[in-house]
C-alpha cells in the first residue's frame, strides 16, 4: 500500500491513533485527525505532535471532514456505525482499523487471542512462555502497545502475540493469524453491538483468513466456540474438561494432559499462582499455543509456575481483621463476574455496578443465592441490578465505589471475602477499568 501524498484521516487520538500518525508521517502521507474531545482536553497530546503537518477536527466528527479523505483509519474505541463513517463507506472511502493497517506490513507469524474473557491473561502468559523458550516476542493489540508500533520499530521478532477485541475484529478484512484461539463467548458490549449475533459474527473473524496449515484452538466446553469448528476446515485443537477429548488437552483439577495432535505430556497446576477454573482454561489455551510455536513442555511449565497474573484480575489487595479483599475491576461483563464468584468457597460480599452494557443479568442469579451473603451496588447500572437481584439476597445500594468499600467493611466478617467484580464497564465514573481498580485498591488500603 502506497501512502506518500495520500490523504489519510485518523479517527481518535488514543494510543493507537498516535502510533498511526507516527507511521503515516514516516510514510509521508497527508494526515488529518478527527477527535470527539476538545483541544483543551488533549493539550498535552497535541503538544507532542507537529501540528503544522496535520489538519485537526476537535469536539466531534463531521461528514464533511471525513469526505476529504482517501483512507480512514479508526481507533478501536470509535463505533463503526457513526454517521460520518457510514457516509464515507457509502462513497467507497476505505475504512480500516489500526490493527488491519499494521498486519499488512508484518513479516512475522501472528499468534492471536480473542474471546469475551481471559484474553489479556492468556496473551501475557503465552508471551512469557515464548520469551522463556528463547523466542523474540512482541505483545500488543488490545493489550499494551498498538500493533503498528512493531511495524514502526522495525524490530525483528519470531512472533507477534496479539490480543484482539471484537471492536478490532469489526474493522478487519485481511487479518491472518497463523495460530489463534477463541477462549469463550458470552454476551458483552451490547451497548456497542446491537445484537449478540453481530458480536458473535465479529468474533468469528479471528479465523476467516486462516488456511489449512494454520491452527485454531478452541474451548471445547463452550457451545459457541465448539460450533466455530463446524464452520471451518482449519486444523483444530480443543481444551476441555471432557475426558473423551481427542485433540488438544484435557483439563483436570491437577493440571493438563495433552492428547492427539496436541502432543503428549502433562502440565501441573500444583505451583500455579493463578486461581479459578477460568484461569485453568486460560492456561490451557496458552499452553497449546506455546506448544504449537515450538516451546518445550518443561519451559511452558516454568512460565506457568512463575506467572503472577495481571493487575485488576482477581488481584489480592489486603487482609483486614480476617477479611480478604480482591480487586477484579477487569470483570467488565456478567460472564467474567460469574467466573470470579465461582472461584471462591468462602462467603462473599460482592461489589458490582458501573456503566450498564444492557446484557442479561440472569446468569448470576443462582450463584448469588449460593455464594453471596451481601451485594453492594453502585454506579449507572445499580437500579437495573437491584431490580434483577434485590429479592434474591441482601442488597445495598450506594452512589459511589468508595461508599461501597466502606459499607463492605461492616458487612464482611472474619473469614469472608470482599470481591470487587463489577460486571459492568467503568466509564460512568472512571477513565477505564485500570483507574477504577486503582481507586478500589486505595479505598481498601484506607480502611481501618
Which contacts (CB < 8 Å, 24+ apart) does range 85-92 have?
85/11, 85/61, 87/63, 88/63, 91/67
Please confirm, yes or no, whether 119 is among the known catalytic residues: yes
Decide if 435 is catalytic.
no
Catalytic residue among 30, 61, 117, 119: 119
In 3D space, the residue among 105, 200, 116, 183 whose CA is nearest the CA of residue 146 turns out to be: 105
Q: Helix, strand, coil % (nearest 5) of the chain?
A: 35, 20, 40
Strand pairing of 235-240 and 248-251? parallel
From 189, 291, 339, 407, the catalytic residue: 189
CA distance 197 to 265: 38
Q: How many helices (H) and strands (E) does the chain have?
A: 17, 20
**What span, in angstroms and rounded, lies between the C-alpha atoms of 365 and 389?**
7
Distance separating alpha carbons of residues 125 and 289, to the nearest angstrom: 10
How many Å apart are CA 251 and CA 249, to the nearest integer? 7
Query: Is 142 a catalytic site residue?
Result: yes
Q: CB neighbours of 118 closer than 8 A, spacing ≥ 6? A: 183, 184, 278, 279, 281, 282, 285
H or E stretch at 419 = strand 417-420
- Among the residues of 146-296, which ranges form H helices? 148-153, 166-170, 196-204, 223-228, 277-292
In the set 30, 61, 117, 142, the catalytic residue is 142
Beta carbons of 348 and 326 less than 8 angstroms apart: no
Q: Write the DSSP symbol of residue 328.
A: -
Known catalytic residues are 119, 142, 189
Amino acid at each position: 500500500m502506497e501512502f506518500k501524498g495520500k490523504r489519510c484521516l485518523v479517527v481518535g487520538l488514543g494510543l493507537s491513533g498516535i502510533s498511526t500518525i507516527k507511521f503515516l508521517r514516516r510514510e509521508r502521507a497527508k494526515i488529518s485527525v478527527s477527535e470527539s474531545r476538545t483541544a483543551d482536553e488533549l493539550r498535552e497530546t497535541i503538544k507532542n505532535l507537529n501540528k503544522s503537518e496535520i489538519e485537526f477536527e476537535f469536539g466531534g466528527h463531521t461528514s464533511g471532514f471525513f469526505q476529504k479523505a482517501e483512507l480512514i483509519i479508526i481507533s478501536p474505541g470509535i463505533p463503526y456505525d457513526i454517521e460520518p463513517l457510514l457516509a464515507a463507506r457509502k462513497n467507497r472511502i476505505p475504512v480500516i482499523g489500526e490493527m488491519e493497517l499494521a498486519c499488512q506490513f508484518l513479516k512475522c507469524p501472528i499468534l492471536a487471542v480473542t474471546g469475551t474473557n481471559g484474553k489479556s491473561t492468556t496473551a501475557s502468559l503465552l508471551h512469557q512462555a515464548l520469551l522463556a523458550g528463547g523466542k523474540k516476542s512482541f505483545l500488543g493489540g488490545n493489550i499494551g502497545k498498538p500493533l503498528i508500533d512493531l511495524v514502526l520499530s522495525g524490530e525483528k521478532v519470531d512472533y507477534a502475540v496479539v490480543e484482539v477485541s471484537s471492536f478490532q475484529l469489526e474493522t478487519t478484512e485481511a487479518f491472518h493469524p497463523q495460530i489463534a484461539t477463541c477462549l469463550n463467548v458470552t454476551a458483552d458490549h451490547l451497548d456497542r453491538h446491537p445484537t449478540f449475533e453481530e458480536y458473535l459474527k465479529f468474533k468469528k473473524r479471528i479465523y476467516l483468513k486462516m488456511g489449512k496449515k494454520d491452527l485454531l484452538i478452541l474451548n471445547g466446553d463452550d457451545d459457541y466456540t465448539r460450533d466455530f469448528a463446524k464452520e471451518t476446515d482449519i486444523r483444530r485443537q480443543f481444551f476441555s474438561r471432557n475426558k473423551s477429548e481427542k485433540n488438544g488437552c484435557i483439563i483436570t483439577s491437577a493440571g493438563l494432559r495433552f492428547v492427539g495432535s496436541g502432543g503428549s505430556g502433562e502440565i501441573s497446576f500444583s505451583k500455579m499462582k493463578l486461581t479459578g477454573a477460568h484461569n485453568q482454561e486460560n492456561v490451557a489455551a496458552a499452553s497449546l499455543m506455546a506448544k504449537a510455536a515450538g516451546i518445550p513442555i518443561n519451559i511452558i511449565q516454568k512460565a506457568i509456575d512463575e506467572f503472577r497474573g495481571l493487575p485488576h484480575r482477581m488481584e489480592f489487595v489486603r487482609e483486614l481483621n480476617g477479611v480478604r479483599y480482591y480487586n477484579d475491576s477487569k470483570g467488565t461483563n456478567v460472564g467474567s463476574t460469574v467466573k470470579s464468584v465461582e472461584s471462591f468457597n468462602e462467603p462473599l460480599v460482592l461489589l458490582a455496578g458501573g456503566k450498564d452494557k444492557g446484557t442479561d443479568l440472569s446468569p448470576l442469579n443462582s450463584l448469588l443465592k449460593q455464594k453471596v451473603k451481601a451485594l453492594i451496588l453502585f454506579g449507572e447500572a445499580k437500579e437495573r441490578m437491584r431490580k434483577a437481584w434485590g429479592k434474591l439476597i441482601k442488597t445495598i445500594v450506594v452512589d459511589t465505589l468508595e461508599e461501597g468499600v466502606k459499607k463492605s467493611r461492616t458487612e464482611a466478617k472474619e473469614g469472608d471475602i470482599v470481591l470487587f467484580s463489577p460486571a459492568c464497564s467503568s466509564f460512568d465514573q472512571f477513565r477505564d477499568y485500570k483507574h477504577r481498580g486503582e481507586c478500589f485498591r486505595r479505598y481498601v488500603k484506607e480502611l481501618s
